[in-house]
Structure 1
């Protein structure tokens, strides 16, 4: 299914270029995504990135702002209806159009045409349920585009601003920053109640596990070995 779908999607990316009066036949140009993303959501994210940057950097940043606003709207207390919308692939044309309008009006100002086209393609192909994965992929490409190094800090509960500030200061003065080769650290916060407490820090394929769950598991292992 994915193999049959992919060519059609890539073709739609070229259509985005024509609709935005950019150079035709962008597929033969030198604009490429800064890294390869896995899976179908990654293909959507990469095509949106290439279509936006093929126009200009300002358009790329506008699409990024659009997608961030949509992500925030989905995560908000009022986002339940939007979540229901994107998770339902059986909606009729009228319902789908109304839902897309609401989704795309999440940010400040009018969403870029490339953002509109991305979600139109997702809707037409019954892939709106991949919205958050597509946005995550686009953000990953933007991190690479800016030469940033992403550090993911996971906690059991949301961290307050003072704690976040202390963690950021510590990380920027740590070996993690030194290993980044002078690149800017982009610190992303995630919440996972399963770690029970403490922190888990992921950086460049490495993990520093300072969680309570990890300590409990190690203790259980020691106890089982002693029996």
Structure 2
């Protein structure tokens, strides 16, 4: 299963696959996914936590101590917390975001869903989110969509949608760059 998808390959894919098998056996794939999503969101929101996760300067003991405090405060326990502690002990915490992404893909595949990553300039309303899910469901042949929405003001406007290996970039930044390039060519 891990060899089929480039997203679920390499070291992060192996860890994610092992976690998925454990979670599936324990019938807790959704609970683990929710905990990992919460941890991933904490990393995205906190530059300090991102530095703790990615920097090789911190030792295992320091990372474990900080991680335990964060997990307790965030209410993350069980299999997800044990997994995060194991990857910390194995000096693999730097790849946790890739592992979370691979785990999401495994859960989506298991449920028959298609994972879609969407980048927008500002938060989408519930109505726009549902409309986007509807469009993506039509494009994917009626499969359920698991949306991973990221907010990036740098794209200025529009959105970037990635479903599998297909990417649609209708961001204003890309359109402005295309105009700028065309103007340079016209000289």
Q: Comparing 34-43 with 131-140, which one deviates more in the overlay?
A: 34-43
CA-CA distance at 1:52 after TM superposition: 1.8
Q: Which residue of 2 aligns with 1:214?
A: 174
The answer to whether the Cα contact below 8 Å between 1:199 and 1:210 also exists between their aligned partners in 2 is: yes
Identify if the C-alpha distance between structure 1 residues 124 and 90 changes in structure 2 by more than 3 Å, giving closer, same or farther: farther
CA-CA distance at 1:38 after TM superposition: 2.1
The answer to whether the Cα contact below 8 Å between 1:194 and 1:213 also exists between their aligned partners in 2 is: yes
Identify if the C-alpha distance between structure 1 residues 105 and 209 changes in structure 2 by more than 3 Å, giving closer, same or farther: same
Q: Which residue of 2 aligns with 1:66?
A: 35
* Equivalent of 1:50 in 10, 15, 21: 21
CA-CA distance at 1:100 after TM superposition: 2.9
* Equivalent of 2:129 in 161, 168, 186: 168
Tell me, in whole angstroms, the C-alpha distance in 2 between the residues paired with 1:62 and 1:143.
Answer: 14
The answer to whether the Cα contact below 8 Å between 1:35 and 1:144 also exists between their aligned partners in 2 is: no
| Structure 2 counterparts to residues 175-186 of structure 1, below 5 A | 176-186=136-146
Identify if the C-alpha distance between structure 1 residues 94 and 223 changes in structure 2 by more than 3 Å, giving closer, same or farther: closer
SS at match of 1:95: helix
The answer to whether the Cα contact below 8 Å between 1:197 and 1:213 also exists between their aligned partners in 2 is: yes
Q: Which residue of 1 aligns with 2:156?
A: 196
Can you list the C-alpha shifts for 1:41-100, whole angstroms capped at 9, x where unaligned? 12111111112212x32x223322321222233234xx4543343234454564344223
Identify if the C-alpha distance between structure 1 residues 94 and 39 changes in structure 2 by more than 3 Å, giving closer, same or farther: closer
SS at match of 1:188: strand
Residues 1:117 and 2:82 are matched in the alignment:
yes
SS at match of 2:143: coil
> TM-score scaled by structure 2?
0.80
Structure (1 or 2) with the larger CA radius of gyration? 1
RMSD over aligned CA atoms reads 2.7
SS at match of 1:105: helix
The answer to whether the Cα contact below 8 Å between 2:156 and 2:172 also exists between their aligned partners in 1 is: yes
> TM-score scaled by structure 1?
0.68
The answer to whether the Cα contact below 8 Å between 2:71 and 2:81 also exists between their aligned partners in 1 is: yes
Identify if the C-alpha distance between structure 1 residues 100 and 213 changes in structure 2 by more than 3 Å, giving closer, same or farther: closer
Identify if the C-alpha distance between structure 1 residues 35 and 64 changes in structure 2 by more than 3 Å, giving closer, same or farther: farther
SS at match of 1:142: helix
5+ long unaligned stretches in structure 2: none
Q: Which residue of 2 aligns with 1:15?
A: none
